[in-house]
């Protein structure tokens, strides 16, 4: 395995938040999913990111989901809080400063959405968050949702300016961008893949793991793939990547977490309910997903 891996290396899973038919949070199902992914070998959990539908939960519900997750995990793996993004920098800084992060290993913060700030604005935003954050920060670059790309020079500037930045979740889908960060990063700073199909490739050029959607359904496959790649066993990593390859498009064809919630429900771990404006995967696509999951070798729900 690569020497001196940074924090949050390996496999993180961006947990879904299961709902009941009345759209209340299904805590028994959440507990089953947590146990399933930990038993599947993931290294840490990211609670209430995009995949966790945090934007459709109230502040109180987010607090309750995070508290439940910390209690249920019971220190078996680290837990990262993933719902600390925003485009009003001072309000976000106040929220973080006043929040209770007891038991939380890290904070993932997406770059400001909708306002499309320039790189200097993104830099100042993150530096303000770093001033108040009591835990290591994972910069989350996801241009497909924020409509702005945190460029390598900005990521590197942040990493060099403050030790509070522990990693970047790089979800631009541009492998050369991740490679540029890897080429110049401080040794303590991790580069994590945020696009599951690219995880093996990103590790092959020096990356440190990924924060995964598909690992909700296939934690063992994804974790073993990441471990193999980190151990430079690319033959095994490719094999596992190929086993999952046909599943990936069906997880995103009608949006995330629509697809992954359908997959986890097909495994019997939760019911397939979302909060509007998200709606369950259409019947035709769900049948395709069922058939593809049936073809994944050694899948043990």
51 labelled ligand-binding? yes
How many whole angstroms separate alpha carbon 267 and alpha carbon 294? 10
Element (H, E) at 271: none
CA–CA–CA angle 190, 244, 274 (5° rounding): 85
**Spatial CA neighbour of 140 closest among 241, 210, 42:** 210
211 labelled ligand-binding? yes
**Spatial CA neighbour of 171 closest among 147, 156, 192:** 192
How many whole angstroms separate alpha carbon 32 and alpha carbon 270? 8
Share in percent of the chain as helix, strand, coil (round to 5): 50, 15, 40
Tell me how far apart the 2 most distant CA atoms of the chain are, in Å: 50
Q: Active-site residues: which are they?
A: 140, 169
Query: Residues with Cβ < 8 Å from 74, sequence gap 6 or more?
Result: none
Residue numbering of the annotated binding site for pyruvate: 51, 211
């Amino acid at each position: 395995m690569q020497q001196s891996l940074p924090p949050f290396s390996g496999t993180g899973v961006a947990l879904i938040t299961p709902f009941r038919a009345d759209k209340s949070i299904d805590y028994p199902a959440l507990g089953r999913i947590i146990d399933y992914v930990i038993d599947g070998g993931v290294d840490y959990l990211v609670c209430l990111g995009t995949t966790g539908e945090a934007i459709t939960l109230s502040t109180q519900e987010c607090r309750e989901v995070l508290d439940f997750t910390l209690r249920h995990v019971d220190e078996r793996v680290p837990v990262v809080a993933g719902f600390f993004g925003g485009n009003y920098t001072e309000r976000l800084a106040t929220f973080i400063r006043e929040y209770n992060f007891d038991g939380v290993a890290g904070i993932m913060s997406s770059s400001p959405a909708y306002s499309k700030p320039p790189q200097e604005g993104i830099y100042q935003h993150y530096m303000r968050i770093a001033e108040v954050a009591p835990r290591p920060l994972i910069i989350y670059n996801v241009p497909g949702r924020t409509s702005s790309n945190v460029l390598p020079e900005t990521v590197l500037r942040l990493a060099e300016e403050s030790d509070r930045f522990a990693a970047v979740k790089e979800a631009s889908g541009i492998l050369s961008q991740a490679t540029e960060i890897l080429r110049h990063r401080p040794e303590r700073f991790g580069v994590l893949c945020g696009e599951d199909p690219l995880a093996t490739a990103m590790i092959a050029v020096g990356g440190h793991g990924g924060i995964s959607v598909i690992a909700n359904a296939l934690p063992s496959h994804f974790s073993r793939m990441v471990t193999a790649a980190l151990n430079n066993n690319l033959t095994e990593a490719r094999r596992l990547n190929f086993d999952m390859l046909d599943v990936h498009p069906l997880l995103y064809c009608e949006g995330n977490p629509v697809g992954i919630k359908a997959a986890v429900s097909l495994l019997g771990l939760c019911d397939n309910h979302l909060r509007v404006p998200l709606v369950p995967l259409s019947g035709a696509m769900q049948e395709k997903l069922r058939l593809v999951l049936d073809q994944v070798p050694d899948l043990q729900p």
